[in-house]
Amino acid sequence: MANSDFKRKKINSLYVGKSTFFKIFLLAGVVVISLLFIWYTFDVIDILKEDTRTQVEKYVKLWQLAANADLSSTELQFIFDEVIVKASFPIIVLDAERVPKQHRNIDDIPNSEYTPEMLERLQEISNEMVRSNGEFPLVIATETDTIVNYFCYGDSEAINELKVMPFIEIGIILIFMIVAMVGFQNIRKSEERLIWVGMAKETAHQLGTPISSLMGWLEVIQSEKDSGSFKGEEEELIDDTLTNMKVDVVRLQKVANRFGKIGSIPDLEMMSLTALVQDAVEYYRRRLPFEGGGIKIEFEKKELPHLLINPELFGWALENMIKNALQAVDSKTGRIKIDAELSSNGKYVSLLIADNGKGISATAARKIFRAGFTTKKRGWGLGLTLVKRIIEEYHGGKIFLKKSKPGESVFEIQLPVEQI
């Protein structure tokens, strides 16, 4: 058994290790790809900006040469209109006092007479251009080299779009990552579901053969008894043996039926939750002497509305909860209390299973319903996962750890009340 526990823990640790490695690898890949995207995009932006600056410098030199060539204002305007404005980026020409005089490629401002509001807007844009890219003086070659204009420019629409591209790229990668993670989780849950169903169906099938055989042998023994083959004390012993064997065979048949229902849509019927809880409590009370003799299970019967329940599956879930509580408490002072009550709004019935065991740590509390997680030395950590599946998927209810501390742990099951 110790070797089996070691193997189980080793398999679990390998699975967790691989899962963690995959997540770290995926996250590192996303970070590296994002950084490469950002680096490449900003590298392209820098190249485009440098090309734009070179082009602007050429425009300024051209205009400056034209101005120093003693051309008329009409000819200078022609150079501006037919050469400089062919650029795809915003341009503003300022006078010597840095007041906007001409512009091109600026949205919402026409290339005509400026209103005070437009002039103020151009002034703000030119100030921003100067802060970002600097200004280029247009000098007339005289004895004092007079500055007659200043040329400033902004980034093109392509550059502005490229600036937001890294954020769009990262957003797309994050969305893809989220979709991939959700898809991965769904695939894993689907695989877990198939494994659950496959194991359950196979278990039911495997149990069916020996149960049928046992039932056959019971009939043989009963037939021998009825024929008078056993006398006196021997007959009494056979009677007791037959009674106990029949109880156990019925129990085995019930277990097989439970496994057979996993993966199928169970039939629900209106029935008393109180009666189901009472049956489970009595079943374990008969076995308390084998648990140490000092454990007590308390349950107070109450009148509650009938609920839609599959008795075999819900009984299985309830027995798992009681069994877990029995394993958590001390064999001499253990107390398990089960209580059921109707919610204040009448929409559901709460079933509370409390024990005075050592409690569940905050770390373990977040994982107790995960398949494979267990705090016990033995076991595969499937009990609470099975309970959660039965309560939530088959009965439309909820189960959660309400509170836990040393000396008190309380699980709550909520089952919906059928509204008539």
Do both 307 and 210 map to the same domain?
A: no
H or E element at residue 13: helix 2-68
Give dist(CA 251, CA 248) in Å, integer.
Answer: 5
Do both 180 and 143 map to the same domain?
A: no
Neighbours of 282 (CB within 10 A): 11
Which of 261, 282, 310 finishes a domain?
261
Among 215, 281, 223, smallest CA distance to 248 is for 215
Do both 167 and 64 map to the same domain?
A: no
Q: Which residue has the tokens 């059921």?
A: 340
pTM of this structure:
0.50
Do both 318 and 232 map to the same domain?
A: no
**Residue pair 147/138 in contact by the 8 Å Cβ criterion:** yes
Which of 99, 124, 155 finishes a domain?
155
Q: How much is the pLDDT for 83?
A: 60
Structural domains of the chain, count: 3
Give dist(CA 400, CA 365) in Å, integer.
Answer: 9
Do both 122 and 175 map to the same domain?
A: no
Do both 217 and 92 map to the same domain?
A: no
CATH number at residue 293: 3.30.565.10
Do both 6 and 147 map to the same domain?
A: yes
Q: What is the mean pLDDT of each run of 10 residues along the chain (420 residues)?
A: 48 53 76 82 86 81 68 61 67 84 79 78 89 83 72 84 81 81 74 64 66 77 77 76 78 72 76 91 80 83 89 87 89 91 90 91 83 63 80 90 91 83
**Residue pair 116/92 in contact by the 8 Å Cβ criterion:** no
Give dist(CA 224, CA 310) in Å, integer.
Answer: 38
Do both 49 and 165 map to the same domain?
A: no
Among 353, 321, 350, 318, smallest CA distance to 335 is for 353
Do both 297 and 211 map to the same domain?
A: no
Cα of 216 vs its chain's centroid, Å: 51
Helices (H), 346-402: 362-365, 383-388
Domain membership of residue 273 as a residue range:
269-416
Do both 288 and 231 map to the same domain?
A: no
- The tokens describing 162, both together, are 């490229």
**Residue pair 276/319 in contact by the 8 Å Cβ criterion:** no
Q: How much is the pLDDT for 1?
A: 44
Which of 106, 139, 155 finishes a domain?
155
Do both 239 and 275 map to the same domain?
A: no
User: Across 226-347, where does the E strand assignment appear?
Assistant: 269-271, 296-299, 307-309, 335-342
Neighbours of 9 (CB within 10 A): 12
Do both 348 and 411 map to the same domain?
A: yes
Bridge partners of 31, per DSSP, are: none
